[in-house]
Structure 1
Amino acid sequence: MLTQAECHTFYKSKAWVSIRKEVLKRDNYECQECKRQGKVFTDYHDPDKHKRLDVDHIKDLEHHPELALDIDNLTTLCIKCHNKKHNRFQFRRKINKWMNDERW
């Protein structure tokens, strides 16, 4: 199992940057989950623009470091699908402090 620091170092490596580009190209810069659902979400290749697509490890890097650079273990996901896959959507509802007060 990899530590968070080791994962961070890996994602900055030349090998990862290279294979990430390969996967994006292979997947035509399209989110594969959106595509499965009949939606279209594409990105452009422009280093000056903020990225909208991630390359995801199907089997997590932390638990399967041996598959880190295995192209068959990588897929392209939009930020929304990637966050959904990893349960990163934990919105907190803003509580209205007047909600339980009597109204006059």
Structure 2
Amino acid sequence: MTKLSQEERLSFYKSKAWRQTREVILKRDNYECQECKRKGKVTTGERLDVDHLLELEDYPDLALEPSNLETKCVMCHNKKHNRFVKKENKWNDEKW
């Protein structure tokens, strides 16, 4: 199986096919984060992403497959990909 390069992924996300599929998935999911919904919380109104459940890089053949796509809020999407970086307090919690 061939992995997609970063340039190929960026090109894909700019494509008309992706933009159209993304809109279909957002409508299907009622513009709600499905991860939050599973936890009993309704998250709408903020920026929403459409997430590939099986990553685009590894499964390019599923890139536009609706069953592999899900609406997520930015917070849940970032959490899935471990994009949160805690900053160390360089002042040792000293308060003035």
Does TM, scored on the shorter chain, surpass 0.5? yes
Code of the aligned partner of 1:21 = E
The DSSP-based 3-state class of the residue aligned with 1:41 is: coil
Code of the aligned partner of 2:42 = V
Code of the aligned partner of 1:68 = A
- Where in structure 1 do 4 or more consecutive aligned residues deviate above 2 Å? none
Structure 2 partner of 1:28: 30
Structure 1 partner of 2:65: 70
Q: 1:98 to 1:30 in 2, by over 3 A?
A: closer
Give the unaligned 5+ runs of structure 2. Answer: none
Counterparts in 2 of 1:39-58, with a 5 A limit? 39-43=41-45, 52-58=47-53
How many residue pairs get aligned? The number is 92
Give the deviation of 1:97 after TM superposition: 6.0
Q: 1:82 aligns with which of 66, 77, 94?
A: 77
The DSSP-based 3-state class of the residue aligned with 2:19 is: helix
**Looking at CA atoms only, which structure, 1 or 2, has the larger radius of gyration?**
1
The DSSP-based 3-state class of the residue aligned with 1:42 is: coil
Code of the aligned partner of 2:76 = C
TM-score after normalising by structure 1: 0.84
- RMSD between aligned residues: 1.4
What's the % identity of the aligned pairs? 58
Distance (Å, rounded) in 2 between the aligned partners of 1:14 and 1:40: 29
Distance (Å, rounded) in 2 between the aligned partners of 1:88 and 1:65: 22
The DSSP-based 3-state class of the residue aligned with 2:50 is: strand
Give the unaligned 5+ runs of structure 1. Answer: 44-50, 100-104
TM-score after normalising by structure 2: 0.91
